[in-house]
Each structure stands twice: as C-alpha cells, then as structure tokens.
C-alpha cells in the first residue's frame, strides 16, 4: 500500500486552521494569566467577573452573564466560589425578587488594587505595540460577532 497522499487531496492540518490558532493562542494567554492570578486566588473566569464588579458593583447575575457571554449554569458556580472566598455577596433585588445582585465585599474591593498590574503584564507578554494590540482586539471582536450571528442564523 502506498502511504503517499496525492497532491490534489485536501489535507486538514491544525497549523493551517484559524480555529487552531485561536485555540492555541487562548491556551497561551491562559499560561500568562495563571501565575498572575494565582497570587490573587482567582481563576481567569473569576477575574473577569471581578473586573465587571469593580466597574459595576451590584450588577444583576443576568446582566453579568450577558456582559461576559456566560450562561447562568456557568456563572453561578463562579459567583458561589467568589462568595466562599469572601469577595462577593449575592442578594435578592429589593425591587424584583426574581433578580439576584452581586455586590463586592470590602475584601473584593481591596483586591482591585492588587490586580492593577495584570493588564500591563499581559499586554507586555503579547509583544506588540499598543496600536497593533488595539487592531487585533477590534478584529477579534469583529470575528466573534460574525461567528455569533452565523451560529444564531442556522437552524437547529
């Protein structure tokens, strides 16, 4: 049997796939964040929740999920873990008991100062000038929106 592949036959290789580039880059970014966040006792998804709360303390779980594009089944365990660490509190909304608000504790607020260096460290790890990082960020946002629109337009 001949193990050679004819030149006209399509060969799928991870290195030739954009989705692999995104996956591998996501993994590499995680490796940069991990030691930075370990000192804070946070995972990357928990860090994202905290970033939103540092900006919008008291946001509802639903709005937090929409902001981070996370489902309730993913977000609830993250919030519970942050609550067990003493960083946040969950409270029923006084005007609408169906909603739960997430509020920072004093410890959670204080953690922001300890995390201030992280964005600069990560930006430096990318090894690109700020203008180029902004271009990449805009392009990735465009790709994400296009993919979401495409996925939403397909029949189940």
Region 12-27 average pLDDT: 91
Residues 96 and 42 in one domain: yes
Overall residue count recorded for the chain in this entry:
156
The tens digit of pLDDT for each residue in 45-61 reads 999 999 999 999 999 99
Rounded to 5°, the CA angle 34-37-42 comes to 110
Q: Which residue has the tokens 């189940």?
A: 156
Task: Encode pLDDT of 59-90 as tens digits.
Answer: 999 999 999 999 989 999 999 999 999 999 99
13 inside domain: no
Nearest in space to 49 (alpha carbons), one of 22, 81, 20: 81
Residues 38 and 79 in one domain: yes
Number of domains in the chain: 2
**Same domain for 56 and 39:** yes
Main-chain dihedrals φ then ψ at residue 100, nearest 5 degrees: -115, 130
2 inside domain: no
Question: What is the per-residue pLDDT for 69?
Answer: 94
CATH of the domain at 105: 1.10.10.10
| pLDDT number for residue 5 | 53
C-alpha torsion sign, points 122, 124, 125, 127: positive
Report the predicted TM-score, pTM, of the whole model to 2 decimal places: 0.85
Domain-embedded: residue 6: no
pLDDT tens-digit map of 25-52: 999 999 999 999 999 999 999 999 999 9
Q: How far apart are CA 63 and CA 69, in angstroms?
A: 10
In tens, the pLDDT along 138-154 reads 999 999 999 999 988 87
């Amino acid at each position: 049997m001949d193990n050679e592949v004819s030149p006209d036959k399509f060969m799928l290789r991870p290195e030739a796939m954009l989705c692999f580039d995104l996956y591998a880059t996501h993994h590499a970014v995680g490796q940069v964040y991990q030691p930075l966040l370990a000192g804070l006792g946070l995972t990357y998804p928990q860090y994202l929740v905290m970033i939103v709360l540092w900006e919008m303390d008291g946001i509802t779980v639903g709005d937090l999920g929409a902001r981070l594009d996370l489902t309730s089944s993913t977000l609830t365990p993250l919030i519970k873990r942050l609550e067990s660490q003493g960083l946040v509190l969950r409270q029923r909304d006084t005007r609408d008991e169906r909603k739960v608000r997430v509020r920072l504790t004093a410890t959670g607020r204080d953690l922001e100062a300890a995390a201030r260096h992280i964005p600069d460290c990560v930006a430096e790890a990318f090894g690109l000038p700020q203008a180029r990082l902004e271009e990449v960020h805009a392009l990735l946002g465009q790709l994400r929106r296009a993919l979401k629109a495409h996925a939403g337009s397909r029949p189940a």
